[in-house]
Amino acid sequence: MKTLITETDIRDGVARLADDLAVHYGDQPVTIIGVLTGSVVLLADLIRRLEMPLRIGLVYASSYRGEMTTRGPLTIDSDMLPDIAGRNVILVDDIFDTGHTLAEMLKLLGEHQPKSIRSVVLLRKLGRQEVNIQPDHAAFEIPDEFVVGYGLDYNDAYRNLRFIAVLEPGDLAEDSP
């Protein structure tokens, strides 16, 4: 695999995201909704940098399962979603790829009548969008390659990498570590 974004660059990108959110919300309370499982690392690092009052909720959404490297049907489980009516909501996800997950999540959250919704992603993949929306905040733009690390996985492996890497064809053919 080849390193695309270093640990230091990720730390700087997360700091920029936190600064942007602090400017936008100031001291207003927010509810941060993390999209499981890929956003867990970003969510943890991001909330440690925020000083406004916040609550956390989690939603499971997935369109990549097992050894898939192309999008499949989207599954969303919102059973752990807290009450967000009348609250400022920040939706946090690992990657904006085709945009279908973000579009469906924004629709789902909007049905709960929040005061506002903003979206944050670590990565915006260029050239793959199939929807007419964009995340409000993205730390990095990346080429159209399959990436792992910092929460992103291939067949449930590589989430623990402290950097973002591109899997090469040989990596996809090998068994997961």
Catalytic site positions? 97
Sheet holding 164-166, edge to edge: 2-5, 164-166, 147-148
Q: Which residues of 82-118 are buried (b: 16+ CB within 10 A; e: fewer)?
A: eebeebbbbbbbbbbbbbbbbeebbebbeebebeebb
Distance CA 154, CA 146 (A): 9
Collapsing DSSP to helix, strand or coil, 6 comes out as: coil
